[in-house]
Structure 1
Amino acid sequence: MPNYRRAFVPGGCWFFTVTLLERRNTLLVDHIAILRDAVARTRERFPFEIDAVVVLPDHLHAVWTLPHGDADFSTRWRLIKTRFAKELPKAERLSAVRARRGERGIWQRRFWEHLIRDEADYVRHVEYCMINPVKHGLVSR
């Protein structure tokens, strides 16, 4: 198994990219209410601040700040992804590996995170969330 290097800074701020397995899918915007509910339910038990978020058809970007003393963003993403997937009908194609493991074929297994290091880094990543729909041609400005 790969040994991923992650920065665990209690109370830190991170930028995330979370992606659907099928990049041509539009599940996130088609089922935005389910996604919102999954995030809200997760925040009830594992609070965090959402500094910025952008939801596109096949991926999302977010900037989160975790509570003082807490660096467990992985559990939060696992719960959000699981809760979202459980509410969708089982219509996706499954690889033999995913079927054997009893997994859904909704999300890519992992996510990308970046620890925000300073105010300039924070501003860059919040702005990236705002410009991303333009970058993908979903809006003009």
Structure 2
Amino acid sequence: MRVLKQSAVLALTMAAALMSSTAWADNTSPIGVWKNIDDATGTPRAIIRITESNGILQGKVEKVFLAPNESPTCKKCEGALKDAPVVGLVILRGLKKDGADYTGGEILDPDSGKVYSSKVSLTDGGKKLNVRGFIGVSLLGRSQIWVRQD
């Protein structure tokens, strides 16, 4: 009986350690759910889920926070995305791990319909994501801070 109790305690301890290391690992990757904050107004704009497949990240809009005059569709997008609902739209794609950052991707701005080169990097212990969209060189662009959601 005593061996059984010790085994149970050891199993619970190992399970707790595994769960805590999994929780810690979540903050070392952009994979998860994020609230994007408008860099101009400081207000929330959308909830985006970032997923990974074969080492490549993509981000899909799950929810939008619209102002009264804003459209829930991508009015200024071109081609197949023209007038597509913003919810469900993949706005971030093609990012690959490059040291501490994820680079080589692109980001769609549903407000303008434009696609920019993109890179992202975790900050604040993985609680925030610096999302940079740019043309050509990273210096010629703008950044948003996305906040990890639990």
TM-score when scaled to structure 2? 0.26
Which structure has more relative contact order (CA 8 Å, sep 6+)? It is: 1
Which structure's CA Rg is the greater one? 2
Q: Which structure has greater strand proportion?
A: 2
TM-score when scaled to structure 1? 0.27
